[in-house]
Amino acid sequence: VITRSAKPDYCPPNHVLIKVDSYFDFHPVPETEGVSHKSHGLIPVWGFGTVETSTHPKIREGERVYGYLAPTRYLLVPVSPSDVNKHAFYVPRPHLPADRRPYNQLLRCETDPQYTPSPYAEDLTMLYRPLFWTSYWCEDWLHASEYRGGLNTIVKIIGLTSKRNVGFTQRLKLYDEVLDYDSFTASQAMSQGKDHRWIYADVAGNDDLNKRICAHFASPYAGRLVTCISLGMTNLTPSSESPIDWRKNSFDSLVSSGDPTAPTSNFWPRFERFFMVEWLSVRRHQLPIDEIFTRQNQAWKELLADCADWVQLERVNGAMAVKSAYNRLAKEGLGPDKGLIWSMWDEERTWNLSRL
């Protein structure tokens, strides 16, 4: 549903009122007739906004910010008085676990080295930045473990997708080979013998697919599945129950896991949940912060140079248009070559570089 509430006319001390450009517990739900925090939730989405009002002495009006916003035109949020620096400020959410802190930060675009002041670059940032850092730091984690003992072998990356998405995935040129869900077990790549070691990264949360992959590698004639990593749940349904064993990743076995003769887990198949925030916290104790920034900035520049023609951007403006697009997406899905940019404002934002 779409509900309307008055724009806040009072900004308490140490608060900012953000005019949100584009986008359940994360943001409070407006309490109106038929809508409450008990019946509805606000979907948090990565987006950009401009600080319209500020009562915090270190945050100026007109600043461009990026963070985990809500699908609304204006968003009033508290700011931790002592938790403001030149790169970001933080919204206190004590009901969330401490490791969710990055989701509570609002990045200040003026000092963000990965920010490019253009509407197109902002669109790409909203689409790719969170996903890219998950994949980037997951690869860093695997490298730190010597790819579970496979560092001395040639690393080959195989992508699995649906039949209708094979062509698109091949055109990305990110994988050595692309296979479809229905026939991957019969491919030559998946039948290379028991001496090969495999790492499976699951981004879909598809129980049927996961069981088929585990069954394939259970054969003594297949390669060894040394670990399964959960990166996402794009296909998970609320009522699904998985028989697969899951465990929280404490990142405490990186040295021993690099042994190329190490067997698979006694509790195999066991999926490791990779949470980027947790691993980045570990790396901050291992690497100088300047080195982390340098690595990230270089990787981000390379991504922007590479991803420009991956998808076709489609902008949707206005609350009713966004609602219609959301319903259509929920019913029909979306092709892999489309990227949706939604804004609750009826008109396109006027680009004003003087406000940065």
Tell me the pLDDT tens digit for each residue of 55-110.
Answer: 999 999 999 999 988 888 999 999 988 889 999 999 888 777 776 777 889 999 99
Beta strands in 256-355 (DSSP E): 270-273, 312-317, 338-343
pLDDT one-digit tens code per residue, 186-203: 888 887 777 788 889 998
Mean pLDDT of the chain: 82
Least confident of 205-219, 250-264, 319-333: 250-264
How far apart are alpha carbons 283 and 289 in whole angstroms?
Answer: 9
Using alpha carbons only, what angle is made at residue 213 by residues 153 and 224, rounded to the nearest 5 degrees? 35
For the chain, which domains are there?
A: 15-112+311-355 (3.90.180), 145-274 (no CATH)
Q: How far from chain centre, in Å, is Cα 283?
A: 19
Nearest residue to 174 (alpha-carbon basis) of 186, 165, 187, 183 = 165
Confidence band, pLDDT 50/70/90 cuts, at residue 274: confident
Measured between alpha carbons, how far apart are the two ends of the chain, in Å?
Answer: 33
Q: What's residue 197's pLDDT?
A: 84
Residue range 120-149, pLDDT digits in tens: 999 999 999 988 999 999 999 988 888 877
| % of the chain surpassing 90 pLDDT | 41
Residue 218, H or E segment: helix 207-218
pLDDT at 252: 53
> Strands 74-78 and 64-69, how do they pair?
unpaired
Check: CB of residue 186 under 8 Å from CB of residue 205: no
pLDDT above 60 (res 234) = no
CA distances, 133 to each of 140, 169, 271 (Å): 10, 20, 20
Reported as type and span, the H/E element at residue 132 is: helix 119-144
- Give the relative orientation of helices 119-144 and 276-286 as an angle to the nearest 10 degrees: 70
133 vs 21, residue with greater confidence: 133
| CB 31, CB 98: distance < 8 Å | no
